[in-house]
Amino acid sequence: MSSLLRFVRSAVVVAALVAAWVGATCNVVFFRKFAEALPEATPHRVLLIVMTGLVLFLIYNIVLQLLFWGRWTKVVPILLVVLAAVAGYASLVFGVGVDGDQIHNVLETNSREASGFFNWQGVFWLTAMIAPPVALVLWARPAHRIGRATVIKAGVVALSLVAGLAIVAVNYIDYASTFRAHRYLRDYIAPANVFAGLHSFYRKTQPLEKIVIAPYGEDARRVNPSARPRLLVFVLGETARAESFSLGGYARMTNPKLAREGVVYFPNTSSCGTATNVSVPCIFSGMTREEYSAKTARARESLLDVARRAGYETAWLDNNTGCKGTCVRGRELSFSPDIAKTWCEGRDFCLDEAMVEELQRFLKDEPTKDRIVVLHQVGSHGPSYFKRYPENIEGRFDPVCATSALQTCSHEAIVNTYDNSILYTDLMLARVIDVLKKEDRYDSAMLYASDHGESTGEKGLYLHGAPYMLAPSQQTHVPMLIWLSDAMKKAAPVAAGCVAAYRDAKVSHDNIFPTVLGLLDVETKVRRANLDLTRCD
């Protein structure tokens, strides 16, 4: 056998050829949808699509080089080719992505869909997509001497990795905003979509593992039960970063209304995570960031359960993607139809003022008793910052980036749009305070804290979700503030004094659980007094 032929039949070359084939033939619909998702104005649009194809090839190549070695592993590339071809062809015929629901359909043999495959056309195309690479794999003659092959493979994998990461880094903003705004795109990448679909199908259909919720804070009680009823509104923010709050020294006036309300702003607050899914359960868990475990949080009662045990009624109103399991045993509110009509119609999320309207109505309709109401904002959720505030908002910064395709906007426009969303949070919080000022039946307070921050191009990063250890301050340094009604200050002068005294302390999400209990006048062994901002003895 000539050395050239031996080279072509080696595992390294065959794996690379199969990777190229799968990348080119099984992702036609993905490339079409990706091109459609890119705004016309994207610079180097065609080059970007070509480079994206290259990234796919590099990923397949890495996987195949790592999994395809000798005769016994030939099944790996064959399986990959078959799954990718079927998924790619299904997308082409049905025009849909492959996700958990589609996998469900296939497993239940939905005959209408199956007929798309079992016809001459389907057999022809699937054969054409599958036969050449499978023949190549069967013909391959992987080397016996694993040693040398290993060195070559390691080199190829390393090169592919570096090249892939470099391409992604160069086009980071295009990928971040396109894939975030068009989540369905990932359902067209074969065969990754098949594995993701199987996973989601499995998670949806498996009998829910019976989680026994462990009680927490069983000794919780209101310290002074004969005192006036208390009302705490906890506004759980979204994607607001401390850097953009003028209360914390930002040069632009982004908090004109709160600046007049006598709030205590904590300028040195750090978050528990850099994503909603981490920070929200963490805040309500009673664990510090260091201790936090998602598994423990899921299997244990939350802050709201502890408050209920002390006699509070808890209510959660969501204008986000849900309470992540923290509110399930309490009351969950929803928007009344007329409020939804005014504030939500034609939008992906309601404007956050819808929650103020609903809160006002809720308090009016409900009997006076100890209450905590959580308002879960959509806040500054990206990349569509321009959708988070009413267009004519007073004091707005221009020009704005009126698209989710951040790559088509200047840095200045992105920051303007983001700052406008902060301006709107300022307005919304001031309106909550107004509602509480009129509620003279309660000793009331408002706590506001954002779940994590946001990058808007600093250090080349956008959005959030960076690993905590590497995350820039824009993602972990968050705004937090407390407002106390005059009645509350009178009823709890020591707490009010302590809150103000901690103004410049280094604080974090760790402080929220104990501080909420402090504001509610609830005592329990699980409240760590040293983290409670209403205590300073």
Which token pair is 153?
A: 């493979």
**According to DSSP H, which parts of 378-446 are helical?**
411-438
Residue 238: CB minimum distance to Zn ion, A: 5
- Please identify, using beta-carbon distances, which residue of 160 and 326 lies nearer to Zn ion: 326
To 5 degrees, how large is the angle CA 530–CA 531–CA 532?
95
Which token pair is 334?
A: 């929803």
Residue 316: CB minimum distance to Zn ion, A: 16
- Please identify, using beta-carbon distances, which residue of 23 and 465 lies nearer to Zn ion: 465
- Please identify, using beta-carbon distances, which residue of 426 and 454 lies nearer to Zn ion: 454
- Please identify, using beta-carbon distances, which residue of 272 and 484 lies nearer to Zn ion: 272
Give the integer Cα–Cα distance in Å for 281 and 293: 9
Which string of x and - marks every residue 257-286 that binds Zn ion (by CB under 5 A)? -------------------x----------
Residue 494: CB minimum distance to Zn ion, A: 34
CA 157 to chain centre: 30
* Interacting residues with Zn ion between 237 and 256 (CB under 5 A): 238
Residue 270: CB minimum distance to Zn ion, A: 15
- Please identify, using beta-carbon distances, which residue of 88 and 281 lies nearer to Zn ion: 281
Q: What single-letter amino acid sits at 365? A: D
**How do 455-456 and 462-463 pair as beta strands?**
antiparallel
Which token pair is 83?
A: 């799954």
H or E element that contains 138: helix 120-139
Segment contacting Zn ion (CB under 5 A): 138-146, 235-243, 425-433, 516-524? 235-243
Structural contact between residues 396 and 424, judged by C-beta atoms closer than 8 angstroms:
no
Which residues 6+ apart lie within 8 Å of 518 measured at CB? Answer: 495, 527, 532, 533, 534, 535
Residue 464: CB minimum distance to Zn ion, A: 7
Instruction: Please count the residues of this chain forming the interface with Zn ion, following the rule CB under 5 A.
Output: 3
Cα 28 to Cα 31, 84, 95, 269, distances in angstroms: 5, 11, 11, 47
Residue 246: CB minimum distance to Zn ion, A: 22
Residue 319: CB minimum distance to Zn ion, A: 12
Residue (of 506, 500, 516) closest to 477 by Cα position:
506
Q: What single-letter amino acid sits at 277? A: N
Which string of x and - marks every residue 5-44 that binds Zn ion (by CB under 5 A)? ----------------------------------------
**According to DSSP H, which parts of 366-467 are helical?**
411-438
Which string of x and - marks every residue 337-356 that binds Zn ion (by CB under 5 A)? --------------------
- Please identify, using beta-carbon distances, which residue of 174 and 238 lies nearer to Zn ion: 238
Residue (of 183, 14, 175, 196) closest to 87 by Cα position:
196
Nearest residue to Zn ion by CB is: 276
At 480, phi and psi to the nearest 5?
Answer: -145, 140
Which string of x and - marks every residue 417-456 that binds Zn ion (by CB under 5 A)? ----------------------------------x-----
- Please identify, using beta-carbon distances, which residue of 268 and 321 lies nearer to Zn ion: 321
* Interacting residues with Zn ion between 158 and 187 (CB under 5 A): none
Residue 96: CB minimum distance to Zn ion, A: 29
Chain residues binding Zn ion by CB under 5 A are: 238, 276, 451
